[in-house]
Amino acid sequence: MTPSAADLAFTFLGTGAPPVSLRRAGPAHLVEAGGTSVLIDCGSGVSQRLIAAGHAGARIDALIVTHEHSDHLVDFYQLVVSSWHQGRDRPWRVLAPAPALANMRGQYEAFARERALRVAFEKRPDATGLEVIFEELHEGPVAGLDALQVKAFLVDHRPVEPAFGLELSANGSRIVFSGDTRLTPSLERAAQGCDLLVCEIFIDSQMPVVAGVRSAQTVASVQSYHMTPAVVAGLALRSGAGALALTHLVPPGADTAALAGEIRAGGYAGPLIIGEDLMRLELPGRLLRWNGATIGF
């Protein structure tokens, strides 16, 4: 589905986390404006989710990876190869912090022999779509995206650093995407007055200790570099965001009705969207499209 020239569209391709989920693919989101398409992160299943969303890797103008964690970049090479099979005829532009770039370069180089065999034997019309231009992501505007304005800002996901959130703007509408982070002043500043705040969420009430899976220390450690429902609700309330959307659900199988109740209990009473894979949000029309339904928010 292609947005009109007046739309800033945000599609949840993967709303999950490292645990495997049939409902939620790995972290990945698509942003579109004025004919420009940017993919944010490339978690497990991203190539399939792009097709299911009516898009394709062949049409992506840039890939931005927010940080080095595996669930955000594990399907990078699959994305490159599947896009070439779809007829991609230009190099990939990939922006990421240096540690994530090193990981993706490693993926790319690991398949160098396999890639050469494909190119030589399959005789496809053009191999340009297999080329990758790697760029280090820094704070500030990302150039060259035409109608879509993207600005990166540092967040705090230590010990994984650097990590970035993103401001996404077009035609007078602005979306703030938290990336993976604990609450930070940079995110507080970016979120002020945005039309849509898209936040990661660690649902602490639904993450009990499980023998042999996660200890009390595991739960505390993971919680320490994410945001709980109470924290996210407070952020949305203080920012005056036009709407709040939740993604990167930890755990992926969370009870979403209970999660909504926690957000409301935290004091946020505005429009609330708990993301599902393939859900699409459009601004300024404030439309949610998912599974055949169109809902105003």
What's the rounded Cα separation, in Å, for the pair 244 and 136? 29
Whether 204 is catalytic is: no
Here the tokens at position 253 are: 């199988």
Q: Are strands 140-142 and 149-157 parallel, antiparallel or unpaired?
A: antiparallel
Beta bridge partners of 136: 96
If residue 258 lies in a helix (H) or strand (E), which one and from where to where? helix 256-265
What's the rounded Cα separation, in Å, for the pair 287 and 281? 6
Q: How far is CA 75 from CA 14, 46, 133, in A?
A: 12, 7, 17
Q: Are strands 92-96 and 132-136 parallel, antiparallel or unpaired?
A: parallel
Angle at the Cα of 294 (from 21 to 195), degrees rounded to 5?
85
What's the rounded Cα separation, in Å, for the pair 281 and 297? 9
Q: In what side-by-side order are the strands of the sheet with 140-142?
A: 140-142, 149-157, 160-170, 173-177, 196-202, 244-250, 272-274
Q: Which amino acid is at 266?
A: G
Catalytic residue among 71, 75, 180, 195: 71
Residues 6+ apart with CB under 8 A from 264: 233, 272
Q: Are 8 and 168 in contact (CB under 8 A)?
A: yes
Residues 6+ apart with CB under 8 A from 206: 251, 254, 255, 258, 259
Catalytic residues: 71
